[in-house]
Amino acid sequence: MEHGSLKDQRASTFSLTDEDHTLANSVRFTLNQDPRVTFCGYSIPHPSDARVNIRVQTTGDPASEVLKDSLQDLMGMCQHVRSIFDKAVIEFRMSRLALLAVVGSYVQQSVYPETGPLEN
């Protein structure tokens, strides 16, 4: 929900329900990276209320458009981090499999020295 003036769209407060510091601080960070933003901050009205208020003031563009752009930027960052993480997990699992194969071969050779690698 947006709370702001119809006459001056450069400043608005956006109320997000079912959110907390995790999203609010990330949105605040991306908004502050935008040169069109002159002020950005957030507050949580009450700890038992699952709601975040994000205040955005801009140099001239509508605050709602700047917020949308920042949310798109944040989604792109999250997708990038997820893809890097997924690649690292795959590399880790492959390295573990390679390590297990080497250890298995070593164990087999130490128990059955007359056999070749991976022969039974």
pLDDT digits (tens, 9 = 90+) for 72-119: 999 999 999 999 999 999 988 888 777 777 777 766 667 666 665 555
Q: Are 13 and 42 in contact (CB under 8 A)?
A: no
Report, as an integer, the average pLDDT of 24-53: 95
Q: Rounded distance, CA 66 to CA 32, Å?
A: 11
According to CATH, the superfamily of the domain at 2-111 is RNA polymerase, RBP11-like subunit (3.30.1360.10)
Q: Helix 21-33 crosses helix 63-111 at what angle (to 10 degrees)?
A: 110
Q: Are 11 and 31 in contact (CB under 8 A)?
A: no
Q: Are 30 and 77 in contact (CB under 8 A)?
A: yes
More confident residue, 8 or 51: 51
pTM: 0.74
